[in-house]
Amino acid sequence: MVIVTYNVNGIRAAVSKGFIDWLSEVNPDVVCLQETKAQQDQIPILEFKQLGYNSYIFSAERKGYSGVAILTKKQPDNVVYGMNIPAYDKEGRFIRVDYGDLSVVSVYHPSGSSGDERQAFKMQWLNDFQDYVLELKKSRPNLILSGDYNICHKPIDIHDPVRNATSSGFLPEEREWIDGFMKKGFIDTFRFFNTESHQYTWWSYRANAREKNLGWRIDYHLASMALEPNLKRSVILPSAKHSDHCPVLLEITG
Residues with active-site annotation: 148
**Residue 243 class from Cβ within 10 Å (0-12 exposed, 13-18 middle, 19+ buried)?**
buried
3-state SS of the chain: helix, strand, coil percent to 5?
Answer: 30, 30, 40
Which H, E and C letters describe 47-76, residue by residue? HHHHCCCEEEEECCCCCCCCCEEEEECCCC
CA angle 251, 103, 4 (to 5 degrees): 35
Q: Are 36 and 65 in contact (CB under 8 A)?
A: no
What are the residues whose beta carbons fall under 8 Å from the beta carbon of 189, sequence distance 6 or more? Answer: 220, 221, 222, 223, 231, 234, 250
